[in-house]
Amino acid sequence: MTITIWGRANSSNVMKVLWAADELGLAYVRHDVGGPFGGNRTAEYLSRNPNGLVPTIEIDGEIVWESNTILRLLGDRYGRDTLWPSDPLVRARAERWMDWQLGTLGAPMTTLLFQLVRTPEDQRQPALIAQALETATKHWALLDAHLATSAYVGGPNFTLADMCPGCLVARWFRFPVERPPLPHLEAWYQRLQQRAPFQRWVDIAPT
Q: Where are the domains of the chain?
A: 3-78, 88-199
pLDDT tens digits along 27-53: 999 999 999 999 999 999 999 999 999
Model-level pTM?
A: 0.96
**CATH topology for the 88-199 domain:** Glutathione S-transferase Yfyf (Class Pi); Chain A, domain 2 (1.20.1050)
pLDDT at 1: 79
The 3-state secondary structure of the chain reads CCEEEECCCCCHHHHHHHHHHHHCCCCCEEECCCHHHCCCCCHHHHHHCCCCCCCEEEECCEEEECHHHHHHHHHHHHCECCCECCCHHHHHHHHHHHHHHHHHHHHHHHHHHHHHCCCCHHHCCHHHHHHHHHHHHHHHHHHHHHHCCCCECCECCCCHHHHHHHHHHHHHHHCCCCCCCCHHHHHHHHHHCCCHHHHHHCCCCCC
Alpha-carbon distances of 111 from 9, 71, 95, 136, 137, rounded to whole Å: 19, 24, 24, 10, 13
Give residue 15's pLDDT.
Answer: 98
The top-level CATH class assigned to 3-78 is: alpha beta
pLDDT at 45: 98
Rounded to the nearest 10°, the torsion over CA 94, 60, 201, 92 is: 0
Q: What are the residue ranges in the chain where pLDDT is below 50?
A: none
Predicted local confidence at residue 7, as pLDDT: 99
How many CB atoms neighbour CB 100 within 10 A? Answer: 19
